[in-house]
């Protein structure tokens, strides 16, 4: 356990906070790469997911593509791109965005599909246009799942942005890499703790946003679990 | 391609290692998640606790976990077991949610009826709940399988022999072919595992083919939510 205590000491030592190899500038870089990649992934994934969820078309295609993208090892892909483009920010951002797009698409179309069909029909019946149905009914009701998708994308991006340290960039991954290369495990573990803490913090923030944007009356449990039969037996069955 | 033939032994050896190291985490995730998922489907509080715990575990970056596990487990840093344990933790973290949804998707009416015809709690679990939860369980284990195979290549960064070695070596030698072959073999292993899981699903759950359209749609929907 000494490694952990040493690592925590390293993190909380003010001397390690700033400077060229300090925690704060690397934290800033880590957030910058992650934010950029997530932003691009949202711009690509959200419209696609909403289009699929609203029209109900192309779902099988997207499930197949998402599955294939998941199988692609991010590290290999990054090295491959860099061998052609050279080192730089954009290969990393591109690879992270590729990682983030599938969960965002899946979250947004699953969100729209979880909206009760009768609610949508009712919205059409009172004269809403398709655009209004999408933005005033479907998206608000689907928001918890849409943000859920973005949440898991962000989580993966922050965790994976660690590899930036291997390709000439910085970020919190540098601590891990520098530590491992000189067998300074205190430093490596400090890096590990920092990345995990950042991921947890950002995930907590997004969870909070998820709660805040959920329309009153739409509890997460109702939209995120499979459909159940709502008969008196349900209660009876549960108590048996 | 010439490079592949010349180094076929190396590539196939790495692929075998990769496949071997992937199998344990996938099996462990499946076995551990089923009781956890069933428990989570029984009570809202337990569900929240287990899913939150799974979410927290999943936030730990893989390299970070590979590095810290030896200290917790008392193993050597280059031990294969670290990677296997780390990937099992991820697998369970991912699968618990799917497993909880799988058992929650079993209709209460069916459970009520099976109790009415005299199933014990234990018998009901094995003969009614597990088979009906099967399709969603299959969907989640497929996600775990793909993720495990893909994440395992990161293990090469800490010196475990996997296909990730080809990425590092190819990158250091500025030799894209080697990287591409590494990616291709990783994807092939993921596809083979997926095909095996689907085949096992067909074999063990012949009844899913008789599922009405609506039932199948709900399975894909839940699967999509699990993967998101």
The answer to whether residue A5 sits within a structural domain is no
3 state SS of A129 = coil
Q: Record the tokens describing residue A57, joined without a space.
A: 């078309």
- Band (A126; pLDDT cuts 50, 70, 90): very high
DSSP letter at B129?
I
Q: Which domain holds residue A186?
A: 22-225
Give the CB-side neighbour count of residue B52, counting CA atoms within 13 A: 8
Q: What is the total count of domains within chain A? A: 1
Helix (H) or strand (E) holding B214: helix B213-227
- Please check whether residue B76 touches A, CB under 8 A: no
Of the partner residues A72, A83, A196, the one whose CB lies closest to the CB of residue B61: A196
CB B194 within 8 A of CB B146: yes
Summarised one tens digit per residue, pLDDT across range B55-64 is: 778 777 787 7
Euclidean distance between the first and the last CA atom of chain A, given in angstroms as a whole number: 47
Summarised one tens digit per residue, pLDDT across range A212-221 is: 887 776 654 4
- Taking each helix axis from N to C end, the angle separating B44-59 and A185-213, rounded to the nearest 10 degrees, works out to 140
Please state the rounded mean pLDDT for residues A114-121. Answer: 88
Mean pLDDT, all residues of chain A? 82
DSSP letter at B1?
-
The answer to whether residue A233 sits within a structural domain is no
Q: Which of B76, B19, B114, B224 is nearest to A70 (CA)?
A: B224
Mutate to test the interface with B, among A226, A235, A236, A238 (most CBs of B within 10 A): A226
Q: Which chain A residues are Cβ-neighbours of B109 within 8 angstroms?
A: 229, 231, 233-234, 237
- Closest chain A residue by Cα to residue B151: A73
The answer to whether residue A156 sits within a structural domain is yes
- Please check whether residue B20 touches A, CB under 8 A: no
Domains defined for chain B, CATH in brackets: 2-227 (1.10.3720.10)
Contact A180 B171 (CB under 8 A): no
pLDDT value at residue B211: 57
3 state SS of B160 = coil
Tally the residues of chain B.
Answer: 228
Residues 6+ away with beta carbon under 8 Å from B223 = A63, B98, B136, B139, B140, B143
pLDDT value at residue A193: 86
DSSP letter at B77?
T
| Phi, psi angle pair for A205, to nearest 5° | -60, -45
Mean pLDDT, all residues of chain B? 83
- Closest chain B residue by Cα to residue A188: B67
Q: Is the pLDDT of residue A93 over 90?
A: yes
- Closest chain B residue by Cα to residue A112: B221
The CB density around residue B46, as the number of other CB atoms within 10 Å, is: 14
Write out residues 157-216 of B within 8 Å (CB-CB) of A.
Answer: 157-158, 163-164, 166-168, 170-171, 174-176, 179-180, 182-183, 186-187, 190-191, 194
The answer to whether residue A17 sits within a structural domain is no
Write out residues 93-132 of B within 8 Å (CB-CB) of A.
Answer: 101, 104-105, 107-109, 111-112, 115
- Band (B215; pLDDT cuts 50, 70, 90): low
pTM of whole model > 0.95? no
Q: Give percent of chain B above pLDDT 90.
A: 22
The answer to whether residue A79 sits within a structural domain is yes
Q: Which of B134, B110, B142 is nearest to B204 (CA)?
A: B134
Contact B179 A103 (CB under 8 A): no
- Rounded Cα gap, residues B165 and B156, in angstroms: 5
CA pseudo-torsion sign A49, A154, A202, B40: positive
DSSP calls for B123-152 = HHIIIIIHHHHHHHHHHHHHHHHHHHHHHH
Tell me the CA distances in angstroms from A8 to A114, A121, B137, one per residue in order. Answer: 44, 56, 39
- Rounded Cα gap, residues A101 and A48, in angstroms: 10
- Rounded Cα gap, residues A62 and A49, in angstroms: 9
- Closest chain A residue by Cα to residue B183: A76
Q: Which of A18-32, A207-221, B209-223 has the lowest mean pLDDT?
A: B209-223
- Taking each helix axis from N to C end, the angle separating B164-172 and B176-204, rounded to the nearest 10 degrees, works out to 170
The answer to whether residue A7 sits within a structural domain is no
The answer to whether residue A10 sits within a structural domain is no
Q: Which of A5-9, A45-49, A221-225, B68-72 has the lowest mean pLDDT?
A: A221-225
CATH number at residue A129: 1.10.3720.10
DSSP calls for A174-239 = HHHHHHHHTT-HHHHHHHHHHHHHHHHHHHHHHHHHHHHHSPTT--HHHHHS-----SHHHHHHHH
- Band (A114; pLDDT cuts 50, 70, 90): confident
Contact B183 A77 (CB under 8 A): yes
- Rounded Cα gap, residues A50 and A47, in angstroms: 5
Helix (H) or strand (E) holding A111: helix A89-113
| Proportion of chain A in helix, strand, coil states, percent, rounded to 5 | 80, 0, 20
The answer to whether residue A11 sits within a structural domain is no
Please state the rounded mean pLDDT for residues B17-29. Answer: 92
- Closest chain B residue by Cα to residue A115: B221
């Amino acid at each position: 356990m000494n490694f952990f205590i040493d690592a925590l000491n390293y993190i909380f030592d003010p001397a390690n906070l700033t400077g060229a190899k300090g925690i704060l500038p690397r934290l800033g870089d880590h957030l910058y790469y992650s934010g950029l990649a997530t932003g691009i992934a949202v711009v690509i994934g959200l419209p696609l997911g909403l289009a699929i969820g609203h029209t109900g078309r192309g779902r099988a295609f997207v499930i197949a593509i998402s599955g294939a993208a998941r199988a692609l090892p991010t590290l290999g892909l990054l090295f491959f791109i860099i061998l052609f483009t050279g080192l730089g920010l954009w290969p990393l951002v591109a690879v992270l965005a590729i990682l983030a797009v599938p969960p965002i698409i899946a979250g947004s179309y699953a969100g729209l599909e979880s909206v009760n069909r009768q609610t949508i029909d009712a919205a059409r019946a009172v004269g809403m246009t398709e655009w209004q149905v999408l933005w005033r009914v479907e998206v608000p009701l689907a928001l918890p799942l849409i943000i859920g998708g973005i949440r898991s994308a962000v989580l993966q991006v922050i965790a994976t942005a660690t590899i930036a340290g291997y390709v000439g960039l910085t970020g919190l991954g540098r601590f891990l890499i520098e530590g491992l290369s000189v067998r300074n495990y205190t430093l490596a573990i400090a890096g590990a703790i920092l990345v995990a803490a950042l991921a947890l913090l950002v995930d907590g923030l997004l969870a909070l946003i998820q709660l805040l944007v959920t329309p009153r009356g739409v509890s997460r449990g109702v939209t995120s679990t499979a459909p159940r039969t709502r008969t008196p037996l349900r209660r009876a069955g549960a108590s048996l | 391609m010439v490079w592949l033939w010349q180094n076929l032994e190396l590539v196939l050896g790495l692929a075998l290692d990769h496949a071997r190291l992937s199998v344990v985490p996938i099996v462990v995730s499946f076995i551990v998640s089923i009781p956890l998922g069933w428990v989570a489907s029984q009570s809202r509080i337990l569900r929240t606790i287990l899913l939150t715990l799974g979410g927290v575990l999943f936030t730990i970056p893989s390299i970070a976990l590979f590095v810290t596990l030896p200290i917790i487990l008392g193993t050597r840093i280059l031990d294969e077991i670290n990677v296997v344990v780390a990937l099992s933790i991820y697998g369970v973290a991912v699968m618990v949610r799917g497993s909880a949804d799988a058992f929650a998707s079993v209709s209460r009416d069916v459970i009520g009826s099976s109790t009415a015809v005299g199933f014990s709690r234990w018998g009901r679990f094995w003969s009614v709940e597990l088979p009906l939860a099967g399709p969603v369980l299959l969907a989640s284990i497929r996600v775990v399988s793909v993720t495990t195979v893909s994440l395992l290549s990161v293990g090469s960064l800490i010196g475990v022999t996997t296909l990730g070695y080809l990425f590092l070596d190819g990158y250091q030698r500025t030799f894209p072919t080697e990287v591409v072959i590494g990616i291709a073999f990783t994807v092939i292993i993921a596809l083979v595992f997926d095909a095996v899981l689907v085949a096992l699903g067909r074999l063990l759950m012949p009844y899913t083919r008789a599922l009405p359209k609506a039932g199948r749609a709900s399975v894909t929907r839940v699967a999509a939510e699990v993967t998101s």
